[in-house]
Chains A and B, each alone.
Chain A
Amino acid sequence: MPEKFKEFKQICQGAKLEKQKRKKDWWHALPRFISIYITWILVKTPITANFVTIIGIIIGLTGLYLIFLGSNFTIVLGFILLYVYYITDEIDGEIARYKKQTSVKGIYYDEIGHLVFQGSLFLIFGLNLYNITSNNLYIILGFLSSLFLLCIRAVRKICFVATSKSSVEKIMNKEHITTQENESIKGGSKLFKGIIINLVNGFSHTMLITTVFFIGYLLYIYFDLLWILKLLLMTYVFFLLIVFIAFTITKYRSLEKDVIKIYNSISQ
């Protein structure tokens, strides 16, 4: 039985866990740790992956709505539902991989789900703070952070657009040789830079953002520290703006590598 579970885990999460190790995106570790057990149960039922995705989106939206309502109880409940959404977000992929149901529709639902959550997370926090303080500024701050988060997302996807423009191919073949020869040198400053990048990536991820605000809200509810929430939202606006600019520059530098990577994954 435990042997079988290991195999099951390999099928469901294999590729993802390798990616997680390589990119060190530790923020996925917790939902993945929990999700595999739920997948283990769900694959025995006739529930499809797309169904799980849709249920996940509904749960997440309910969570956002509950946070928006703004009483202490609904806020905590809302955050819990958001965490449930993050877990279902892993489950759907795992079921699809296990049942070999991966489909374009599935990817579409998944992407729409991400779009809706990345778009509305800060918006809800902003609206909520506006309800508490009745200061218009927070709505605007919330909107702006959402906008920056979406912009980061859009920049991340530019390499796909670049790959699809067919005239680019010839250039890629030429650069194929030169880009792969770059060996990565490890030094103290590079390690430090790696940690910074890792942290920045982590804190621009919806799950960590949710966690940061969850802690902020808990502090507000139990110790009445409203200024922490205000500070969090303001800091995040600047943080995301800086990340957006930095991200645009770094993505520009790694563009050719990214394009080649995508191209290879398609033509494999």
Chain B
Amino acid sequence: MKRESFKDFKRICRGNKSIEMKKEKSWWHALPRFISIYITWILVKTTISANLITIFSIIIGLTGLLLIGLSKSLLIIIGFTFLYIYFILDEVDGEVARYKKSTSVQGVFYDEVGHLLIHTGLFFTFGYSIYRITSVNLFLILGILAAFSILGIRIIRQIPLIASSKGSVKIIIKDEKNDVENKPSKKSFTKILFYIFKNITTAFCTTIIITTTYFVSYLLYSIYDNSQILKLTMVSYTIFMFIVFLYFIIARSRTIEKDVIKSYKMMNE
């Protein structure tokens, strides 16, 4: 009885998230989702609302960032643990909302503000903490630059939504609807390679992988007492994020019409 209902429960909570994950091969969501469903299972039996979880998770995430910013080795580890709790709770709130059918515009708002704060705060905090450790000003600037790029990527992602809401575009969308949809995708070796490359790039732009990378390098730093690793991570990640940002501008301009049609359909469903 319980086993069967747990499966159903999982299906209700995840909604189309698990299909999305399979389609986009976003494997980095797998771990927090694996854990989150059990927490959701407990939380739906209480009266705790989804929005409360979101607000609570933002507070935990920000506390985590603050602890990392303080740059003491024990506090850094606690800070990272808090960040991971944030990533799990970030899944839990959506699952609770879907199960209790309490999805709301406010919920989306809290979620988005949380992402905005944590995403931009992440690199900034790492930069600040490395600056505290090494007392080199450069890392502070690198941190802000990386935060900048991640924010830029985020904003570019929202452009199709804005574009599809501008009324005058509608006519164009309808015209283009036909010729976009019947394109068979060819599979070749280079294409698969490109696909894997793209998947990994996307993964390394997500906060959970970024956090893990920094966590590993902080651990290496505290074990070997070598700040070289931290410096290297910061410099290479900043360059990486900036390149992705620039690439993203170009890549998105090519797919903008497809994206607009997709988000237009989503809004009209």
The residues of A with any CB-CB pair to B shorter than 8 Å are 97, 102-105, 107-109, 111-112, 115, 119, 136, 139-140, 143-144, 146-147, 150-151, 153-155, 157-168, 171-172, 248, 251-252, 255-256, 259, 262-263, 265-268
Contacts and interface: CB of A to CB of B under 8 A. Distances in A.
A107 B172 contact: no
B161 A103 contact: no
Which 3 pairs of residues, A with B, have the shortest CB-CB distance? A143-B144, A160-B161, A162-B108
Nearest to A175: B105
A162 B145 contact: no
B106 A154 contact: no
Interface in B150-201: 151-152, 154-156, 158-170, 172-173
Contacts of B8: none
Contact of B169 (A104, A111, A119, A267): A104
Contact of A252 (B109, B120, B170): B109
A144 B144 contact: yes
A167 B152 CA distance: 27
A136 B138 CA distance: 9
A103 B173 CA distance: 9
Contacts of A252: 106, 109, 113
Contacts of A265: 165-167
A263 B109 contact: no
Given A104-B172, A151-B151, A168-B104, 11 more contacts: A105-B256, A111-B162, A143-B141, A146-B148, A150-B148, A151-B120, A160-B161, A162-B109, A164-B267, A167-B103, A266-B268
Interface residues of B, number: 51
Given A115-B156, A153-B155, A108 B163 contact: yes
B35 to A, nearest CB: 24
Interface SS of chain A:
helix
B155 A140 contact: no
Nearest to B256: A108
Interface of B: 98, 103-106, 108-109, 112-113, 116, 120, 124, 137, 140-141, 144-145, 147-148, 151-152, 154-156, 158-170, 172-173, 249, 252-253, 256-257, 260, 263-264, 266-269
A149 to B, nearest CB: 10
A104 B103 contact: no
A107 B169 contact: yes
Given A103-B172, A147-B120, A161-B161, A108 B252 contact: yes
Contacts of B168: 97, 102
A107 B103 contact: no
Nearest to B263: A164
Contact of A155 (B113, B253, B264): B113
B105 A259 contact: yes
Contacts of B158: 154, 157, 160-161
B94 to A, nearest CB: 10
Nearest to A142: B144
Contacts of B140: 140
Nearest to B252: A108
B251 to A, nearest CB: 12
